[in-house]
Structure 1
Amino acid sequence: MKILHVYKDYYPVIGGIENHLRALAEGLARRGHEVTVLVCHPDARTEVGMLNGVRVIRAARARTVASTPLSAELPRLLARERPDVTHLQFPYPLGEVSHWWRGHGRTVISYQSDVVRQRMIGAAYRPVMRWGLRRADALLATSPNYVVSSPELARLAHRCLVVPLGIAPERFAAPPRTRRARPTLLFVGRHRYYKGLPDLLRAMPEVDADLIVAGDGPMRPAWERLAGELALGEKVRFLGTVPDAELPALYR
């Protein structure tokens, strides 16, 4: 089967959805499917290549607006593909509109997040978004709780299929370890406004535990300042970017 995945970024760009998309695309390729990933290039050039059995098309990026890469090339490149299935990682308005306008194949949408901060953009996009969600052949959510808590998914709960994001269990097999003297909490993720880390930091003075924060992003300086203002001291450690190969050890 020919499968086309459409999103903003792909490996070596690191992020939760990027990691999920890479694992999914490479897993499908190993099963014998013809897999293509269409994303935006970090720069103003278009590149096509193979990566671990997956054909990756990186469309020239014009600019980035409200965390959304824009590319005049992406709709044209998408129209040239003839997949059996197009899988959209929502939200990415350019990818979704390009698919409904010029795309092919049956449509699967993985609903990863509500549009929460860009209120004006969200209001303008909402009619098209809702039309596209209703039209999808399959609408996937990552947890039953999200189907209930998301205003958009709740409207379409009868159509949602819950498919959690998968991992390779062998990577996280826990060897024997020495227990820490104090309980330890772990946060792993990009440092962006919607991640909720400030709530965790503000709760830490009341929690008899240490906190390890792995990841990086635009909010890191502000969150480090907040930890200082809360006088958390050695209770919290910001590790910055952690190589993917080292992440499993943090969970053990």
Structure 2
Amino acid sequence: MGDNRKKLRVLQVNKLYYPVTGGIERVVQQIAEGLKDKVDMRVLVCQRKGRTVTEKINSVWVKRSSSLGVIASLPISFSFFWHLRKISKNCDIIQFHMPFPLGDLACLLSGYKGKVVVWWHSDIVRQKKMMKLYRPVMEAFLKRADVIIVATKGHIEGSAYLKPYRKKCVVIPFGVEKAIFEDSTKWLERENKVKENLEINKEVRFLFVGRLVYYKGCKILLEAFRNVKNAKLIMVGNGPMENELKQIVKKYGLEKKVEFLGNINEKELQEQYKACDALVLPSIVRSEAFGLVQIEAMAYGKPVINTNLPSGVPYVSRHMETGLTVKPGNISELEKAMNWLVEHEEERLAMGKRARERVEQEYTVEKMLERVERIY
């Protein structure tokens, strides 16, 4: 007999949506497009600035509520409250992606009686004054939530707010982008990843991918890299610290060893993952909650040097298994870790192999979507 059950009606709620391409926006898009045939899927977000727009993107219905602009990372949108109230009347499940204070408040005021799923991406770390005002709303919303999804156990352990709700928490790791997973699979098959005729003194390429902002630890990285022999450092991304970082490179005479590529497209980034020997994620603040670039590099069979932040970061790539983990902000530990990977080529390749295996076991979009669907 056929299955006559009605499809579940699910609404994804976030600040912004594609073509904005932050880490959270990418996850919202993966869920919306990946489960659109299994459930009746809709998306409600805000405009960065401008009038309300309703559109279909890759067969997903998306409403962007009008906004006066963005202040302290938060869209100023009054129509969002009305849209959520109206759309929620026909929903079985609403999935909110936090932190998004406007979403919490709108849900509590909407009169919505259905199920609430929260994906907790990270704590609010920097806006301390706003946090004092927002905390009672957030606590009421977390009490209201039926399930809280986190990407690693570290998100619960390192959070200042989640511990009282740990019984509601479910771990669902992120999945590496399909295009990257497919490209890396083909490349690894071609390369066969068994390197013969190892060159003992070849220049090892370290790769950094991210915005050039304070919490990414780029200054620490350059200070540590000064004393790394037989190596090159490629910096991908731009941001407010770019000029300062270039001055440090000049000051230490590292122009031939450090290359800034700025923002590059997806295809060029894939080529950089292939060309590098290891990824470095030297973040110093738990604003770095996971580090999606870790699983992207690991998909290409590359080990990762990350930091032991009280967040999901050290849970993704494991110390001495798929890479090395160092203390955040510790120049000498980071320097030692990079030199160790330069000097231990066989171990570096073995870590890269295990990194790829970890991606296959834990970090595919298919696995992520299966787990989300099970929760629905």
Query: Structures share a fold, TM > 0.5?
Result: yes
C-alpha distance in 2 between matches for 1:111 and 1:171: 29
Pair 1:188-2:209 in alignment? yes
Pair 1:143-2:152 in alignment? yes
C-alpha distance in 2 between matches for 1:19 and 1:102: 26
C-alpha distance in 2 between matches for 1:164 and 1:6: 19
Stretch deviating more after TM superposition (106-115 or 202-211): 202-211
2:157/2:163 contact within 8 Å kept: yes
Unaligned runs of 5+ in 2: 1-7, 275-376
Partner of 1:97: 105
Stretch deviating more after TM superposition (77-86 or 171-180): 171-180
Secondary structure of the corresponding residue to residue 156 of structure 1 = helix
Higher Cα Rg: structure 1 or 2? 2
- Counterpart among 68, 72, 87 of residue 66 in structure 1: 72
Stretch deviating more after TM superposition (66-75 or 146-155): 146-155
Give me the TM-score of the superposition, normalised by structure 2. Answer: 0.61
**Residues 13-56 of structure 1: CA distance to partner in whole angstroms, max 9, x if unpaired?**
12111122211211011x33221111111332111010111111
2:146/2:168 contact within 8 Å kept: no
Shift of the alpha carbon at 1:85? 1.2
C-alpha distance in 2 between matches for 1:21 and 1:35: 11
Shift of the alpha carbon at 1:215? 2.7
2:48/2:69 contact within 8 Å kept: no
Secondary structure of the corresponding residue to residue 152 of structure 1 = coil
C-alpha spacing 1:171/1:221, structure 2 compared with 1 (3 Å): same
Identity, % of aligned positions = 35
1:78/1:103 contact within 8 Å kept: no
1:16/1:189 contact within 8 Å kept: no
C-alpha distance in 2 between matches for 1:124 and 1:69: 17
Greater per-residue strand proportion = 1
RMSD of aligned residue pairs (Cα, Å): 2.4
C-alpha distance in 1 between matches for 2:265 and 2:50: 27
C-alpha distance in 2 between matches for 1:46 and 1:210: 47
**Residues 102-160 of structure 1: CA distance to partner in whole angstroms, max 9, x if unpaired?**
16331111111111111100122112212212321111111122221122223433332
Unaligned runs of 5+ in 1: none
- Counterpart among 154, 172, 178 of residue 184 in structure 2: 172
1:5/1:88 contact within 8 Å kept: yes
1:35/1:55 contact within 8 Å kept: yes
Give me the TM-score of the superposition, normalised by structure 1. Answer: 0.88
The amino acid that maps onto 1:187 is: F
Partner of 1:23: 30
1:198/1:223 contact within 8 Å kept: yes
Q: Which has the higher contact order (CA 8 A, sep 6+)?
A: 2
Partner of 1:116: 125
Shift of the alpha carbon at 1:231? 4.6
